[in-house]
Amino acid sequence: MTVRGRLAPSPTGALHLGNARTFLLGWLSIRARGGHVVLRIEDLDGPRVKADAEAAAVSDLRWLGLDWDEGPVRQTDRLDAYRGAIERLVAQGVAYPCVCTRSEIERAASAPHADEHETRYPGTCRGRFPTREEAERASGRPAALRFVAPDGPVAFEDAVRGPVSFDPSRECGDFVIEKGNRTPAYQLACVVDDAAMEIGEVLRGDDLLPSTARQIQLQRALGLPTPRYAHPPLVVGEDGRRLAKRHGDTTIRAFREMGARPEAVVGWLASISGLALPEARTLPRDLVSGFELARVPKTPQVVTSSCLAARRADWIR
């Protein structure tokens, strides 16, 4: 059976070197096995979606030499599929309405967990309201829907990290599957899409490792298959944090505008991934033969300001 993978950019900002490296590895892992690539636009985060970001992401991916066999498929066109899955979880009694605000959760929780943006949900609304409508009438607030995270760890074999285990019930608590504005949350939409698109491998940055345990719990609750997961370490700045605006302009668009050559950018991404020699110039199609995920370093790749300055000078030659 042909393995299927996906490139899944979010149109909330410009692609940067870290995104590009992850997309390159995901594309190579599928193409090296003669697989099928789907382009999925994860555009559910309405307030953060930028009007021209999808077109820019598609253009950047093509400039890098990455292609796909299907898509783009936009999540905003698949709301009925998410609604069906949510209704199933509610009917099973494993999802419930929640009217807690972020500040209330932070005050009630015993300790923050998981990442810099998340506090463990202490279960305040579990069993509190019979229906979403009653929750909203009683509180005067929009009600989100939370999934009841089963107790105990979720163990899985990661294609990069090896055996890993996370316990969502302890690390994040019951998590949101639909927001108060009726927008499906990332975890739910991702699970439904991966199953519908028959995705056999999900490759993404290791900052999303905790999300994988939550998604496996949703897959089990919905009776959906679990793909193979691969989480290479991120490209980070000198502060050890994933690349962002605070590290300067590392967007693909900026390098394109200054006249960088795609084979120079791809060659550098390949070199920090253990796939090519330093200063290599290559395109993705040239890396397919002999690609092995095992060659990818298991430590974050640090990009310094001096490194970027040298690369900018080199990539336009």
Task: Return the pLDDT at 250.
Answer: 87
Q: Is residue 128 part of a domain?
A: yes
Q: Decide if 307 is inside a domain.
A: yes
Query: Residue 194 forms beta bridges with which residues?
Result: none
Q: Is residue 94 part of a domain?
A: yes
In a shared domain, residues 173 and 269: no
Number of domains in the chain: 2
Q: Are residues 68 and 122 in the same domain?
A: no
Point out the domain boundary residue: 133, 168, 188: 188
My answer on whether 258 and 237 are in the same domain is yes
Domain boundary among 120, 155, 188: 188
User: What is d(CA 94, CA 141) in angstroms, rounded to the nearest whole number?
Assistant: 22
Give how far Cα 228 sits from Cα of 143, 160, 246, Å: 34, 11, 33
Count Cβ atoms below 10 Å from residue 181 Cβ, excluding itself: 9
Q: Are residues 14 and 86 in the same domain?
A: no
Whichever domain contains 93, its CATH number is: 3.90.800.10
Co-location of 89 and 181 in the same domain? yes
User: Looking at the domain assignment, is residue 258 inside a domain?
Assistant: yes
In this structure, the answer to whether residues 71 and 96 fall within a common structural domain is no
Domain boundary among 188, 218, 250: 188
What range defines the domain where residue 132 resides? Answer: 80-188
Compute the distance between CA of residue 242 and CA of residue 301 in angstroms, rounded to an integer: 10
Within a domain: residue 195?
no
- Secondary structure (3-state) at 32: coil
Distance between CA atoms of residues 59 and 45, nearest Å: 21
State whether 86 and 172 are in the same domain: yes
Contacts of 74 (CB under 8 A, 6+ apart): 40, 41, 43, 54
pTM of the model: 0.92
Residue 303 lies in a domain: yes
Same domain, 267 and 289: yes
Q: What is the pLDDT at residue 30?
A: 98
Question: Is residue 250 domain-resident?
Answer: yes
Give the full edge-to-edge strand order of the sheet including 175-178: 95-98, 144-147, 175-178
Q: What is the CATH number of the domain that holds 28?
A: 3.40.50.620
Number of Cβ atoms within 10 Å of the Cβ of 62: 12
Per-residue pLDDT of the chain (317 residues; tens, 9 = 90+): 799 999 999 999 899 999 999 999 999 999 999 999 999 999 998 888 998 999 999 999 999 999 999 999 999 999 999 999 999 999 999 999 999 988 777 666 433 333 445 689 999 999 999 999 999 999 999 999 999 999 999 999 999 999 999 999 999 999 999 999 999 999 999 999 999 999 999 999 999 999 999 999 999 999 999 999 999 999 988 888 887 767 667 899 999 999 999 999 999 999 999 999 988 999 999 999 989 999 999 999 888 878 777 777 778 76
pLDDT at 283: 97
SS3 percent helix, strand, coil of the chain, rounded to 5, is: 40, 15, 40
Whether residues 237 and 289 fall in one domain: yes
Let me know whether 85 and 168 are in one domain: yes
pLDDT for res 117:
54
Q: How many helices (H) and strands (E) does the chain have?
A: 12, 12
Residue 176 lies in a domain: yes
pLDDT of 100 reads 95
Is there a single domain that holds both residue 64 and residue 86? no
Contacts of 177 (CB under 8 A, 6+ apart): 86, 89, 95, 145, 146, 147, 184, 185, 187, 188, 218
pLDDT at 157: 97
- What per-residue confidence (pLDDT) applies to 107? 63
